[in-house]
Amino acid sequence: MSAPVTLTICRTCRPEGAPEDAERPGAALLREVVAAVALRDAGATVEVKAIACLSACSRACSATVSGEAKFGYVVGNLSPLDAADLVGFALAHAESADGIPPWRARPQVVRKNTIARLPPHGVAHALVEEPASAAVDEVQEGA
Amino acid sequence: MSAPVTLTICRTCRPEGAPEDAERPGAALLREVVAAVALRDAGATVEVKAIACLSACSRACSATVSGEAKFGYVVGNLSPLDAADLVGFALAHAESADGIPPWRARPQVVRKNTIARLPPHGVAHALVEEPASAAVDEVQEGA
């Protein structure tokens, strides 16, 4: 069984142009993500949390995926319609050993809208180097 | 004494328009950050690491700040000239209890170019809520 991951949704995200007097798209995304996790019966693997701001306001709606001692991911430009894909990505993250799901396991919306990934704190990983040993190679995710 | 934090610099970042045959700005930023940490004698608090990609290529140069059980931050649009400010932010992150430095403690370049923050995995925090309890309030960082 995969180690559980946490999917944190910014519930106040409102992309530019979204009406101010309607439900916030972030809140709708949160609702749809909770429903998608239930639909896939994935609650034991994907824990959903809400937050008031992920400091990614210019690329609303936004969400993060995190796991113990794993790379964390931030995804932006999401709409409530992307809930199922976001949960699919969280499941792929849970299955990966280090939090870096293989490219083929990432839904298109995640591939196109990954804002950043964060190395886990205090955990050794082949990608994380001492400054002195860093040589510049052409290594970019998905390239 | 502050708990140590890790500053991870993408050493392959090259902002659009930067010459292809010169040292990568990411590698130069890494070099300048190592020098800035030494200059401030901050090596016991700020550990510097290099990585080949933070998946934030469109907002190069990029860096992350992380600490045990703390919010992690991703900062973009950095130049090698921002090294001292980046180290200043890492020190403020180290001093903060939860990884969210007070706004006044954040250098201007960090305020303007924070790409995202990630809640720590598996750690309770007042900002991280259960989906059911989430009410939409106007709470945005720095607002």
Dist CA B107 CA B109 (whole Å): 6
Closest Cβ–Cβ partner in A48, A57, A141 for B140: A57
CB contact under 8 A, A129 and B64: no
> Are the C-beta atoms of A55 and A80 separated by less than 8 Å?
no
How many CB atoms sit inside 10 A of residue B132's CB? 8
What mean pLDDT comes out for the span A54-65?
97
Closest Cβ–Cβ partner in B23, B116, B134 for A116: B116
Dist CA A72 CA B99 (whole Å): 15
Residue A16 tokens read as 């530019």
CB contact under 8 A, A53 and B121: no
Task: List, edge to edge, every strand of the sheet that includes B72-75.
Answer: A128-129, B46-51, B5-10, B63-67, B72-75, B114-118
Q: Which residues in chain B touch residue A72, judged by CB atoms under 8 angstroms apart?
A: 72, 118, 121
- Reported ipTM: the value is 0.91
B120 burial via Cβ count (<10 Å: 0-12, 13-18, 19+): buried
Closest Cβ–Cβ partner in B11, B51, B118 for A72: B118
pLDDT tens by residue, B90-110 = 999 999 999 999 999 999 999
* Residue B129: pLDDT over 70: yes
What mean pLDDT comes out for the span B63-80?
98
Query: Minimum mean pLDDT among A23-37, A86-100, A127-141: which range?
Result: A127-141
Q: Which residues in chain B touch residue A127, judged by CB atoms under 8 angstroms apart?
A: 51-53
Q: Calculate the average pLDDT of chain B.
A: 93
pLDDT tens by residue, A39-53 = 999 999 999 999 999
Domains defined for chain B, CATH in brackets: 5-133 (3.40.30.10)
